[in-house]
């Protein structure tokens, strides 16, 4: 008799429902039925149902010419399996402030052209596979989030490709959207598919393209795919052409023309370069933020003056730090590629940008500490915003985390609020979402971390601050505008990161 194993489950972060993960993943019957229902349509598999893949699936399934049926494929693990169940039972796995997301999902439900599965049999049915899996960098942080070292492990990515290569059609079109170390398509993906096709006795008629997304969750989520410029390339002319034809069916290329680059490596570099450009410019302005504090000047008015010049429009603003999945790692993917794929040196400036940005919240912490003369113990702090992005509940790599852990370590009692985050995954703690719940308490300091419109436009917040006992308002991320500073400044002490002209 077999011993009874504990059943693994996967909990939905949307509904809370806990789905047991089946031992055996045979979804062949349903997949074949889905294909039959959608006969006449091309089958597109989207591998990975994260922030990119999930909405990419909706955009493909809702292409203007309605020529696609989409199968989303995920891994059957604790953090992802629920997405498959959720999609197949009427609930899209991402809550978004963009109403188009729900509209597109409902339309796929009516058309019955979107299905999710964990069974890699799906790839055998696919005419096109879009690869949207994660490819992480393993950062090794020392004390105070100092980046000591990092590693890129391609094992998971290769396994994902292998699951396609071992069953896919001979003439499948593969489009990689995952951000990868430049060179990956040529040096990893192509050899892997070549080898699998040899093993399977197939001629190498597959096509392989690279086209990176510029997805921005939030109110323009769908538009950031459909209505935005795209760059692409193929490992050969035919692959590039096929990738282009596919992109033309889902993107408004009349308004947002495509750009073809001459190699997949060029296209992969393009992606990490554009994010490194941002990361580096943020790191650069941090140096000037610190200078502005020493020189007692307002860096915001300076940056505004400089941005009058068209050649200087992209100069960044002071802030708390850098969050999210891309800017915090993409420069490292490039540096890793330079060293491991092209036997060159590290990209020193790009690496330094990540190092500086990872530690940036320490400056806010130190200014906070200075403002309280170093007396943090038992200070009651209300921290507003844990997401790294305005009006979005995304806590991945949020810079708020370092500030929060430092405040706690310093002895502060921290109350958390974010209208978009009920549970802070990375810190495993719950967060107040209703401001009415937190404004009853009394605090020594209110820390503004995220420029949610709830904080910039809330009447409840304004009324509370206008009658509350005098506190320190510590704005770490340019949340308060000039008017707010003037009004609140009558009652409270104010300190704004980047405004060295406000003395605390």
Burial group, residue 337, by CB count within 10 angstroms (0-12, 13-18, 19+): buried
Q: Scanning the structure block, which residue is given the tokens 């490292």? A: 332
In the complex, the smallest distance separating the C-beta of residue 330 from a second copy, rounded to whole angstroms, is 13
Which residue among 284, 340, 362, 405 contacts a second copy (CB under 8 A)?
284
Distance CA 234, CA 238 (A): 7
Q: CA dist 161 to 24, 71, 78, 174, 460, Å?
A: 21, 16, 21, 10, 51
Residue 291 binds a second copy (CB under 8 A):
yes
Which residue among 78, 153, 287, 463 contacts a second copy (CB under 8 A)?
287
Q: Which stretch binds a second copy (CB under 8 A): 33-41, 102-110, 336-344, 395-403?
A: 336-344
Q: Which stretch binds a second copy (CB under 8 A): 218-226, 269-277, 319-327, 387-395?
A: 269-277
In the complex, the smallest distance separating the C-beta of residue 155 from a second copy, rounded to whole angstroms, is 23
In the complex, the smallest distance separating the C-beta of residue 314 from a second copy, rounded to whole angstroms, is 4
Distance CA 477, CA 426 (A): 21
Nearest to residue 473, comparing CAs of 371, 401, 363, 391? Answer: 371
Any alpha helices (H) in 126-206, and if so which ranges? 155-165, 184, 190-199
The pair of three-digit structure tokens given for residue 273, joined into one six-digit string: 């370069």
Strand partners, 211: 232
The CA-based diameter of the chain, rounded to the nearest angstrom, is: 78
Q: Scanning the structure block, which residue is given the tokens 């309280």? A: 372
Which residue among 117, 124, 224, 338 contacts a second copy (CB under 8 A)?
338
Task: Yes or no: say if 98 and 220 are a contact pair by the CB < 8 Å rule.
Answer: yes
In the complex, the smallest distance separating the C-beta of residue 321 from a second copy, rounded to whole angstroms, is 16
Residue 281 binds a second copy (CB under 8 A):
yes
In the complex, the smallest distance separating the C-beta of residue 258 from a second copy, rounded to whole angstroms, is 10
Which residue among 273, 317, 485, 487 contacts a second copy (CB under 8 A)?
273
Which of the 8 DSSP states describes residue 319?
-
Positions 352 through 411 that interact with a second copy (CB under 8 A): 352, 356
Q: Which stretch binds a second copy (CB under 8 A): 275-283, 381-389, 396-404, 441-449?
A: 275-283
Distance CA 323, CA 449 (A): 12
Neighbours of 478 (CB within 10 A): 18
List all residues 6 or more positions away from 363 whose beta carbon is below 8 Å from its beta carbon. 286, 289, 290, 497
Which of the 8 DSSP states describes residue 187?
I
- What is the per-residue DSSP string for 56-104? HHHHHHT-TT--EEEEEE---STTTHHHHHHHHTT--S---S-HHHHHH
Distance CA 14, CA 31 (A): 25
Which residue among 104, 131, 164, 231 contacts a second copy (CB under 8 A)?
231
Q: Which stretch binds a second copy (CB under 8 A): 123-131, 280-288, 367-375, 455-463?
A: 280-288
Using the minimum distance from each CB to a second copy, give the nearer residue, 117 or 337. Answer: 337
Using the minimum distance from each CB to a second copy, give the nearer residue, 139 or 271. Answer: 271
Residue 337 binds a second copy (CB under 8 A):
yes
Q: CA dist 306 to 240, 258, 300, 412, 481, Å?
A: 40, 31, 10, 38, 19
Residue 229 binds a second copy (CB under 8 A):
yes
In the complex, the smallest distance separating the C-beta of residue 345 from a second copy, rounded to whole angstroms, is 8
In the complex, the smallest distance separating the C-beta of residue 269 from a second copy, rounded to whole angstroms, is 6
In the complex, the smallest distance separating the C-beta of residue 309 from a second copy, rounded to whole angstroms, is 7
Distance CA 434, CA 444 (A): 20
Q: Which stretch binds a second copy (CB under 8 A): 91-99, 115-123, 168-176, 268-276?
A: 268-276
Residue 347 binds a second copy (CB under 8 A):
yes
In the complex, the smallest distance separating the C-beta of residue 191 from a second copy, rounded to whole angstroms, is 17
In the complex, the smallest distance separating the C-beta of residue 324 from a second copy, rounded to whole angstroms, is 14
Residue 343 binds a second copy (CB under 8 A):
yes
What is the length of the chain?
504
Residue 350 binds a second copy (CB under 8 A):
yes
Task: Yes or no: say if 284 and 360 are a contact pair by the CB < 8 Å rule.
Answer: no
List all residues 6 or more positions away from 44 whose beta carbon is below 8 Å from its beta carbon. 60, 61, 68, 69, 70, 71, 126, 127, 128, 129, 130
Using the minimum distance from each CB to a second copy, give the nearer residue, 71 or 269. Answer: 269
Positions 156 through 185 that interact with a second copy (CB under 8 A): 182-183
Which residue among 102, 127, 236, 501 contacts a second copy (CB under 8 A)?
501
Residue 278 binds a second copy (CB under 8 A):
yes
Binding mask 296-315 for a second copy (x = CB under 8 A): xxxx-xxxxxx-xxxxxxxx
Using the minimum distance from each CB to a second copy, give the nearer residue, 126 or 347. Answer: 347
Any alpha helices (H) in 296-347, and if so which ranges? 299-306, 330-340
Residue 216 binds a second copy (CB under 8 A):
no
* Contact positions vs a second copy (CB under 8 A): 182-183, 214, 229, 231, 259, 261-263, 265-266, 269-270, 273-274, 276-278, 280-281, 283-284, 287-288, 290-292, 294-299, 301-306, 308-315, 334, 337-338, 341-345, 347-350, 352, 356, 501
């Amino acid at each position: 008799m077999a011993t009874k194993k504990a059943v693994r489950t996967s909990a939905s972060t949307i509904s809370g429902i806990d789905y047991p993960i089946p031992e055996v993943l045979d979804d062949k019957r349903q997949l074949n039925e889905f294909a039959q229902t959608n006969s006449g349509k091309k089958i597109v598999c989207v591998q990975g149902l994260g922030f990119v893949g999930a909405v990419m699936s909706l955009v493909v399934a809702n292409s203007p010419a309605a020529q696609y049926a989409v199968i989303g494929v995920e891994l059957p693990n604790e953090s992802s399996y629920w997405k498959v169940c959720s999609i197949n039972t009427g609930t899209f796995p991402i809550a978004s402030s963009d109403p188009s997301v729900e509209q597109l999902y409902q339309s796929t439900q009516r058309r019955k052209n979107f299905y999710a599965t964990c069974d890699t049999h799906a790839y055998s049915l696919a005419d096109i596979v879009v690869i949207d899996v994660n490819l992480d960098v393993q950062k090794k942080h020392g004390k105070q989030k100092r980046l000591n070292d990092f590693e890129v492990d391609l094992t998971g990515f290769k396994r994902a490709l292998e699951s396609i290569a071992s069953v896919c059609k001979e003439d499948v079109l593969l489009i990689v959207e995952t951000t990868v170390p430049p060179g990956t398509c040529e040096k990893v993906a192509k050899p892997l598919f070549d080898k699998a096709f040899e093993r399977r006795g197939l001629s190498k008629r597959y096509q392989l393209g690279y086209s990176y997304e510029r997805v921005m969750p939030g109110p323009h989520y769908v538009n950031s795919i459909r209505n935005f410029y795209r760059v692409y390339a193929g490992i050969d002319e035919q692959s590039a052409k096929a990738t282009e034809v596919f992109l033309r069916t889902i993107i408004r290329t009349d308004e947002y023309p495509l750009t073809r680059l001459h190699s997949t490596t060029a296209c992969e570099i393009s992606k990490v370069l554009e994010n490194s450009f941002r990361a580096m410019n943020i790191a650069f302005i941090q140096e000037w933020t610190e200078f502005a504090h020493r020189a007692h000047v307002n860096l915001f008015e300076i940056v505004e003056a400089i941005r009058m010049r068209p050649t200087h429009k992209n100069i960044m603003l002071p802030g708390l730090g850098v969050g999210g999945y891309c800017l915090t790692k993409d420069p490292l993917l490039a540096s890793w590629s330079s060293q491991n794929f092209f036997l060159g040196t590290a990209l020193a400036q790009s690496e330094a940008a990540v190092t500086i940005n990872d530690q940036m919240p320490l400056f806010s912490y130190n200014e906070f500490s200075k403002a309280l003369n170093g007396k943090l113990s038992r200070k009651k702090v209300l921290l507003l915003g844990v997401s790294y992005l305005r009006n979005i509940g995304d806590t991945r790599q949020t810079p708020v985390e370092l500030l929060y852990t430092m405040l706690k370590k310093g002895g502060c009692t921290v109350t958390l609020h974010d209208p978009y985050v009920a549970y802070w995954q990375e810190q495993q703690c719950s967060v107040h979402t209703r401001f009415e719940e937190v404004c009853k308490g009394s605090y020594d300091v209110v820390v503004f971390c995220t420029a949610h419109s709830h904080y910039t436009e809330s009447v409840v917040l304004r009324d509370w601050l206008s009658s509350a006992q005098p506190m320190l308002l510590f704005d770490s991320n340019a949340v308060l505008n000039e008017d707010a500073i003037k009004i609140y400044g009558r009652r409270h002490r104010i300190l704004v990161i980047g405004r060295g002209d406000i003395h605390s």
